[in-house]
Structure 1
Amino acid sequence: MSVRKQFRTALCGLVLAGFVVTTTQGPAAASPVADRAAKVPAVTRAEDAVARSLARSLADSAWRAETDRAVAGGREVGLSALAGTSRTRAAASLAAEVAAADRSVLAAKGLSARTGGLLTVSLTGAADSGRAPLVAVAPSDDEAAPVTAYDTNGRAHTLDPSRTPDVPVYVVGIDGAKAVEAGVRVLERELAAAGVSTTAAPAAAPAATADTGFWTSRITSVRLDDDKETWIKGDAEIFSIVSGFGLDGKVRVDTVTHPYLDDAETTYYPNQILVNWSQYKYNLADVVMMEDDGDTNYSALAKAIAAALLTIADLGAYVPLVDPVVDAIPSSFWTDDADFVDAWYTLARETTGVRDGAGGNGRFTFDRYWVSAL
C-alpha cells in the first residue's frame, strides 16, 4: 500500500471515528467557511492576509508615496525590507505582519529561515490613472479565475484576470527567483540525503576526465509556447530536473534553473549547460521542466521523487526516467505548485540541433560543448 493510500485510509478511520462520537453526542454543525479555508494553500493565505493589510496601510499618503517610488518602473521589491526601513506609522504596523507571513511562507515551501523574506510587491494596471489603488494576489491556479483585490478600506473587489485593470494594482507575490534558487538547493540536499546522487553529492568522475575536461549538452536557444502565467503573475520561474544513471549505477538527479526564461513565445539564447556527461554512466538522460507557481514545497517534492527513483535499478541498459519523476509529483503540484511545463526523453550526449518537448510546449536547441580542465 502506498504512503498516500495509507494516509487516506487512516484519515477515513479518523473521520468515521469522529462521526460516531458526534452522532452519539448530537449533530455537529459543519463550517463551510472553515472547510474552504482549509483548502487554501498556506502561501496563498499568507499572501492574501498581507495584501489586505497592505491595502489598508496605503491610506497613509506618505507611506503610499514611498511605495510608489520603490515600485516605479515595474520594479518588484521585497516587502519586508520596504516596510522595515520606512519611518511611517502605517509601515511600522505592516512590517510585523509581513515578517510573520514570511515565516509562514518559508515553512510552507520547506525552506530555511536563512533564505530571508520572500514576499514582494510590484505595481501593474493603470499606475498613472490617478484613481485609488487596489492590492491583489495572483489566483491560486493558472486557470482564468477572478482576481480578488482590496481597497484601502479592506473591501474586496473582483478583477478580470484576462484584462489589465484600469486602476493602479499593487500585486503581493513571491520572489520566485530567490525561492527557486533556495528550493533547488533543498531539493538536491534532500535527494542526496535519501541516497540519490546529485550535484550536492556527486559521484567522482574518472581520473582521465578530471584531468582533461568533459563533454556537456549546452542549450543554445530555448522557447516556450506557454509559461503557465497570467498577467497578474508576471515572470515565470522555470527549472529543470535532469535525471539518469550516475557512474555508480544508481539513479542521479541534477537541477538546473533558467532565471532568464520569463515570457512565453520568446526565444532566448542562454548558452547554458544542461547536462554534464562526466557524471553519467550512459550517454542518455531525461529532462523534466517545471515552473514554480508559489506554493511549491521543495522538501515534499524531493521526498516524492526520491521515493520513486530509488526503486529503479540499473539493469545494464538505460531506462527512461521521465515517467517516474512525473508520476512522483504530488497531485497538489498540478494546480499551482510546480506546474509541469514539458519533458525531453532520452536526450543523448550526441544530440545537437532542435529537440521539441514531448508535450509540444517547449523547444530546445542543443550543441555539444567541451569544457576543458584548468
Structure 2
Amino acid sequence: MSVRKQLRTALCGLALTGLAVTAVPATAVATPVATGAAKVSPVAAAEDAAARALARSFADSAWRAEAGSAVAGGAETGLGALAETSRTRAAASLATVVAAADRAVVAAKGLPADTGGLLTVTLAGARGSGRAPLVAVEPSDDEITAVTAYDTRGRAHTLDASRMPDVPVYVVGVDGEKAVEAGTRVLERELAAAGVTTAAANATAATAPAASTAPTAPTTSTASTTSTASSTGFWTSRITSVRLADDKETWIKGDAEIFSIVSGFGLDGKVRVDTVTHPYLDDAGTTYHPNQILVNWSLYKYNLADAVMMEDDGDTDYSALAKAIAAALLTIADLGAYIPLVDPVVDALPSSFWTDDADFVDAWYTLAREMTGTRDGAGANGRFTFDRYWVSAL
C-alpha cells in the first residue's frame, strides 16, 4: 500500500526522500547493469543476499525444476523450508545462506530469535515461457519504477516495475503476516515493560462473537461509566467495512500487511495502547467487510480513542517502534479531559518510517464510543465504517 506524499506532508510536515530510477523495458534483460552504492536497510541487504544465492542455485536444472513446481500455484512459500526439504546439492548450499539471512531479518525487525524463518519466495512474470528465470527482491518502496533482478551467473538486470516481465521472475520477500503477528506481540510487550498499559493483541483484534440481547445504548458523556465494563459484557466499536485508496501497486509487490495502534487513557488514567491486526486487508481499492472489533471501550476511561494505521513494509523494526512510542506517550498525563494521542504517536515514528514509502498509512482522531457510520482518515487514504457492538459475557 502506498503512503502518499501529500498525506504525510499534510499530517506531519516531514520531508520525504526518494530514489530516482530510469526504467527500461521489461524485455531488456540481456544486458547486465551495475548495482548502485545506495545505503540499504539490514532487511533489504539480507533479502538481496538470499536472492543472489537463489539465482545462482538455479544453474542446477534439477533444483530449478523442483523449486518451480513448488511455487507454481503462485502462493508465497517459505524459502528456507523449500531449500531444506530438497535433496539437491544446490539447495543444500542455498539453505545455509538463507538461514543466515533469515536470522539477520528477524534481528533487524526486533523480533525474538524463535520467530522462525521470514524469507519467502513467489513466482511472477511469464511462467512456462521456457526462458531462464531471474530472481528479484520485493521492494519496500511502492513508488519504485525499476527492479533489479539476478540471473544464474549472479549478474544484475533491470526490469520495468510497471510492466509484467516476459520471463519467469522469482521474488524474494518477507512473510508480512507472520512478521506482523510476532511484531505486535513485541510491540505490546515492550510498551508494557516501559510502563504503557497494553493488552494481549487478540483482546481487541479478534472478531466479536454473536451478541445476546444488548442493553440500552450508552449515552454520550466525556468519561466512560462503569456500565460499559459490567459483568454482563461491554460495548465496542466494530469495523463493518474498511477501504484504502488505490495506490497503483506494481507487479512485484505482494499483499499489504496492515495493523492499527489504538491509543487512549486506561481506567487507571494512564496512557493505554492496543494493537489490532488486519490480515484480510491485502489490496488498496478494495472494500472489506471484516466485522472486526477495533476498540473495546471497557478498557478505556474516556469514551474517546485514536487510531494510527500502519503497514509492515518489510523493514519495520518493532522493538524500535515500541521504544519510540513509549518515550512519547509516557510524557502525557491525564488532566481530567481527553487529549488526542495521534500526533505524539506519529511524531514518535523513527525516521526510517518516512523513507521510501514507509509504514504509516493513515490516522483517525477522537473516535467516539457512540459513533456509527463512515469515518475517513485524516489523510483521506483510509475509510472505516463503524457500528456499536455489545459483546455479552458467557
TM-score (norm 2): 0.83
- Matched-pair contact (CA < 8 Å) for 1:284–1:318: yes
- Matched-pair contact (CA < 8 Å) for 2:241–2:289: yes
- Matched-pair contact (CA < 8 Å) for 1:294–1:337: no
- Matched-pair contact (CA < 8 Å) for 1:135–1:151: yes
In the other structure, the counterpart of 2:283 is 263
Deviation at 1:145, TM superposition (A): 3.6
More deviation, 206-215/77-86: 206-215
In the other structure, the counterpart of 1:304 is 324
TM-score (norm 1): 0.87
Q: For residue 164 of structure 1, what is the amino acid of its counterpart?
A: M
- Matched-pair contact (CA < 8 Å) for 2:261–2:308: yes
In the other structure, the counterpart of 1:165 is 165
- Matched-pair contact (CA < 8 Å) for 1:139–1:145: no
Q: Deviations over 1:311-354 (max 9, x none)?
A: 01100000000111000001111125852111111000011011
In the other structure, the counterpart of 1:193 is 193
Indicate the SS of the match to 2:73.
helix
In the other structure, the counterpart of 1:242 is 262
- Matched-pair contact (CA < 8 Å) for 1:293–1:336: no
Q: Deviations over 1:142-189 (max 9, x none)?
A: 222421100111110001111111111000000000000000000000
Indicate the SS of the match to 2:71.
helix
Pick from 313, 333, 336: which aligns with 1:316? 336
Indicate the SS of the match to 1:289.
strand
In the other structure, the counterpart of 1:61 is 61
Deviation at 1:233, TM superposition (A): 1.7
Q: For residue 212 of structure 1, what is the amino acid of its counterpart?
A: T
- Matched-pair contact (CA < 8 Å) for 1:227–1:236: no
Greater length-normalized contact order (CA 8 Å, ≥ 6 residues apart): 2
In the other structure, the counterpart of 1:345 is 365
In the other structure, the counterpart of 2:6 is none
Deviation at 1:226, TM superposition (A): 3.9
1:130-149 aligned at under 5 Å gives the runs 130-149=130-149
Pick from 290, 298, 312: which aligns with 1:278? 298
Deviation at 1:210, TM superposition (A): 4.8
Q: For residue 199 of structure 1, what is the amino acid of its counterpart?
A: A
Q: 1:181 to 1:337 in 2, by over 3 A?
A: farther
More deviation, 56-65/264-273: 56-65
- Matched-pair contact (CA < 8 Å) for 1:210–1:373: no
In the other structure, the counterpart of 1:108 is 108
Matched, 1:72 2:92: no
Unaligned 5+ runs, structure 1: 1-32
In the other structure, the counterpart of 2:27 is none
- Matched-pair contact (CA < 8 Å) for 2:228–2:234: no
Indicate the SS of the match to 1:347.
strand
Higher helix share: 1
Aligned length: 339
- Please tell me the root mean square deviation across aligned C-alpha atoms, in Å: 2.1
Deviation at 1:362, TM superposition (A): 0.6
Indicate the SS of the match to 1:320.
coil
Q: For residue 143 of structure 2, what is the amino acid of its counterpart?
A: E
Deviation at 1:128, TM superposition (A): 2.0
Q: For residue 86 of structure 2, what is the amino acid of its counterpart?
A: S
Indicate the SS of the match to 2:231.
helix
Q: Distance in 2 between matches of 1:348 and 1:295?
A: 33
Identity of paired residues, percent? Answer: 83
